[in-house]
A and B are shown apart, each in its own frame.
Chain A
């Protein structure tokens, strides 16, 4: 929207109807070049503030106090300034010959100015809470610009390191995410501005907490500093009493938050909590949000594997070709107890698993594969000679050598009895198998009632 009557009209309309999302649209950089150019050309640096002041104040339908107008003038002036910088950046992206002078860094800086102006609106000019979607839009793009600025800088000077003079050692990672780290700091300030608002709930900025928290968590994930995320979760938890009920926030924010909370628990190997959060996210997720559902399942499936030893059905995975490729080969091997093939499948998908941080969890699926193999041995041994009129009882004394044969066959490796015993001891220790090993006799004595808990035998 050009910076003339059109903007002022839209501004007044949005403010009058208390429509924060409509208002936020006037601050979006996510518009085609021509429109950006139209905005930028509709004003000039010398007269913009006065023009804005007149325009924003002059609307008869609005009665804004001097301070509020002042705040918005600063914001739109900063926005206008940013449009110019963004235009230059976009143009130089298309023209590869000029792309060396860090244009996106300038965009990031200009955009930070806008965010600062906006924050001042809340901190000193008393902006109303319904305008927080403006914060959403500005913060969301700040993160995007930070990433772009970092990429651009790393492309141009991958190892330029200016800030080393006072350190004993240099850190090659320092500069890699310079702007994104800065962005995380800025966002956490925004988060606090939302979180610490003491106005009554109906008009509190606390309603913005989860959106900003989600952005922050996303940023921390990208920065690989999951530990910082803890602070956000703690802060939200600590403010629990004064916060609006979680279920009152938009569902989209709930899903994203629960997903992040779940993945964090997953990374800490707290599979109980991870399963809980991810299940919640799964249930709340919009049925057509396939990308999100895929992300949730990526962590929920390994959770189930570890916790309840259940595998996804083919029907569940049907709409997700990527997940099929990721999980199905592994699942088949686990089900059939094929150790060697399991190892191969794990190796096959290793890069992808490691990238998604699920390798170390899936690896433990081997235990389930092994249990299934041992269970086969147990079943193959059949029953004791049945006495008349009684239920047949399985033969529960299994020579270690039989298990050893099965394991050696299954893993296609020659494994000595001591190692087999070690594996069996593990099964028993982890409650995959009930019974004990008698080293003296070289046999495993399995429980008569449920030798393999949870599997029906």
Chain B
């Protein structure tokens, strides 16, 4: 639940600059903490009422409206104090200091508010004659009091007067750079430029970035724009209340309530609504339905879409269990079967993480696929990483060992063994090997052409490179401009390797240079 009032939290920075500049006779100038923003004294600015910095949407204590007068001309009581030069007790000094240590600062409470509150508290204590007797160390800090007052005022509307951590951090960060003369600080990039502060900016309506709205509220505002600002604030207030049921990101997983089995995939641009997210027990039914559908219709675009929305629902609810693994595994297999390597790769990298969490699934099967996949994409770095991740036991697993043997055969150029392995691939690895068997055939053909003289029977090529038939082998050679290299000699077709030269080298280089996969960088 998003509290409504922080939409326009008065910032720490500029408003208080205006305030300090116009503050002519503060009651407690000796308080050491104020020295830290002494800079702002040197640049006098036109004084304007501090009140306008309080956004209308946050219900400040009733006294807020009077603050303006308080600020510009300190209350009579305070002036009296200043005149009579009261020697403040140490306990009071400590209390004031404590209020201003960064750790205690609250980004939703402006400095001027705090100072007013402090003054009020101390004056009251002095007037009542309890200044020396009060236990100031246990006194609530002014920001706490203000917060409580606000909370009381907001109670019927909102029971949780806590500003999100992110917003807090953004505000404190901002504050650190306020006394720099130059604004070219690395932090300044996060501030919203003035030309983007118009009412009802698009991102205010479509996104949920608290800190951006904060930043806009932090901009100096002159009275000229005051009314427009107020209008903007009002709008923002409306929007936040309108979106009350969307939790800010990072507050915890969504708990879905959607009961539909099927759901189209839509990329999220805002936090998901529980009403549109299916809880795990519904997703289980969905999976059963999709399995049946896949068997019956074999409609990949439908299936892929449905699986993506399922994965999304699992992710936003942070469901990471055996069921999650099953969903990803099934999607990965279907994607493999259809040659959709982009989708397959997404599933695979998720599975890698899930297995690492200790979830069972078919880890070895998919680790083997991964090795084959990296062979295909010629991703040496990842291949190395994959090798590094394998344990001794995994290396003995049938599928993984097969993949490793494939890798080693290719590394050593042992095409004979490679094609034997191709012919005997466990699980669905052959779908992956199909992807690169063509280029390996070209490589082997180059080898044969250079090594064998003067010729070899076509049958030899067929067998070595595991073509289905002589016709297929001949077709492969013809496809790569090898017409003249085939000769009919007394009924047997021979392949004139001696004449091939480097005919296939170009095609080979081309086949190895380009591994183009959708969804892969």
Contacts A167-B315, A419-B417; A436 near B451 (Cβ below 8 A)? yes
**CA A365 – CA B464 in complex, angstroms?**
25
Check A437–B315 contact: CB distance below 8 A. Answer: no
Interface residues on B, range: 35 or more
CB contact between B446 and one of A67, A367, A429 (< 8 Å): that residue: A429
Interface string of A343-368 (1 = CB under 8 A from B): 00000000100110101100110110
Interface residues of A in 122-173 (CB under 8 A from B): 123-125, 159, 161-173
Contacts A116-B186, A224-B381; A355 near B388 (Cβ below 8 A)? yes
Query: Which residue of chain A lies nearest to B412 when distances are taken between CB atoms in the complex?
Result: A366
27 residue pairs from A and B, CB less than 8 Å apart:
A45-B102, A46-B36, A47-B35, A67-B181, A113-B176, A120-B180, A123-B184, A162-B250, A163-B250, A165-B250, A165-B268, A168-B311, A168-B312, A170-B318, A171-B349, A172-B352, A173-B353, A357-B384, A360-B380, A364-B412, A419-B414, A421-B451, A426-B451, A429-B447, A436-B451, A437-B452, A438-B453
Check A418–B416 contact: CB distance below 8 A. Answer: yes
In the A-B complex, the 8 residue pairs with the closest CB atoms: A172-B353, A425-B451, A422-B416, A165-B249, A436-B453, A428-B451, A426-B413, A419-B416
Chain B residues with CB below 8 A from A419, complex form = 414, 416-417
A-B contacts counted at CB < 8 A amount to: 154
Task: Give chain B nearest CB distance to A221 CB in angstroms.
Answer: 11
Check A267–B182 contact: CB distance below 8 A. Answer: no
**CA A170 – CA B354 in complex, angstroms?**
10
**CA A436 – CA B448 in complex, angstroms?**
10
Asked if A226 is at the interface of the complex by the 8 Å CB criterion, the answer is yes
Interface string of B19-36 (1 = CB under 8 A from A): 000000000000011011
Asked if A401 is at the interface of the complex by the 8 Å CB criterion, the answer is no
Task: Give chain B nearest CB distance to A114 CB in angstroms.
Answer: 12
CB contact between A119 and one of B181, B186, B452, B456 (< 8 Å): that residue: B186
Check A426–B447 contact: CB distance below 8 A. Answer: yes
Asked if B267 is at the interface of the complex by the 8 Å CB criterion, the answer is yes
Asked if A391 is at the interface of the complex by the 8 Å CB criterion, the answer is no
Query: Which residue of chain A lies nearest to B249 when distances are taken between CB atoms in the complex?
Result: A165
Check A269–B416 contact: CB distance below 8 A. Answer: no
Asked if B383 is at the interface of the complex by the 8 Å CB criterion, the answer is yes
Asked if A92 is at the interface of the complex by the 8 Å CB criterion, the answer is no
Interface string of B237-271 (1 = CB under 8 A from A): 00000000000011000000000000000011111
Task: Give chain B nearest CB distance to A376 CB in angstroms.
Answer: 19
Interface centre among B32, B249, B447 (most CB of A within 10 A): B447
CB contact between B184 and one of A113, A120, A159 (< 8 Å): that residue: A120
Asked if B356 is at the interface of the complex by the 8 Å CB criterion, the answer is yes
Asked if A287 is at the interface of the complex by the 8 Å CB criterion, the answer is no
**CA A159 – CA B320 in complex, angstroms?**
11
Chain A residues with CB below 8 A from B185, complex form = 116, 120
Chain A residues with CB below 8 A from B460, complex form = 439
Task: Give chain B nearest CB distance to A142 CB in angstroms.
Answer: 13
**Total number of A residues with any Cβ neighbor in B under 8 Å:** 61
Check B416–A70 contact: CB distance below 8 A. Answer: no
A contact set with B: CB distance below 8 Å: 45-47, 49-50, 67, 70, 74, 113, 116, 119-120, 123-125, 159, 161-173, 189, 224, 226, 267-269, 351, 354-355, 357, 359-360, 363-364, 366-367, 418-419, 421-426, 428-430, 436-439, 445
Contacts A167-B315, A425-B452; A45 near B412 (Cβ below 8 A)? no
CB contact between B271 and one of A125, A165, A267, A429 (< 8 Å): that residue: A165
Check B464–A224 contact: CB distance below 8 A. Answer: no
**CA A189 – CA B380 in complex, angstroms?**
29
Asked if B385 is at the interface of the complex by the 8 Å CB criterion, the answer is yes
Chain A residues with CB below 8 A from B384, complex form = 354, 357, 359-360
Check A226–B381 contact: CB distance below 8 A. Answer: yes
Check B271–A364 contact: CB distance below 8 A. Answer: no
B contact set with A: CB distance below 8 Å: 32-33, 35-36, 38, 97, 101-102, 176, 180-182, 184-187, 249-250, 267-272, 308, 311-312, 315-316, 318, 320, 346, 349-350, 352-354, 356-357, 380-381, 383-385, 387-388, 408, 411-417, 446-448, 450-457, 460, 463-464
Query: Which residue of chain B lies nearest to A418 when distances are taken between CB atoms in the complex?
Result: B416
Chain B residues with CB below 8 A from A120, complex form = 180, 182, 184-186
Check A172–B413 contact: CB distance below 8 A. Answer: no
**CA A423 – CA B32 in complex, angstroms?**
84
**CA A407 – CA B337 in complex, angstroms?**
39
**CA A309 – CA B182 in complex, angstroms?**
61
CB contact between A168 and one of B176, B186, B267 (< 8 Å): that residue: B267
Check B388–A49 contact: CB distance below 8 A. Answer: no
Chain B residues with CB below 8 A from A357, complex form = 384
CB contact between A363 and one of B408, B447, B450 (< 8 Å): that residue: B408
Check A166–B268 contact: CB distance below 8 A. Answer: yes
**CA A429 – CA B320 in complex, angstroms?**
50
Contacts A168-B268, A169-B346, A426-B412; A46 near B97 (Cβ below 8 A)? yes
Check A422–B181 contact: CB distance below 8 A. Answer: no
Chain A residues with CB below 8 A from B450, complex form = 425, 428-429
Task: Give chain A nearest CB distance to B408 CB in angstroms.
Answer: 7
Chain B residues with CB below 8 A from A172, complex form = 352-354, 356-357
**CA A50 – CA B33 in complex, angstroms?**
11
Task: Give chain A nearest CB distance to B280 CB in angstroms.
Answer: 16
Chain B residues with CB below 8 A from A171, complex form = 349, 353
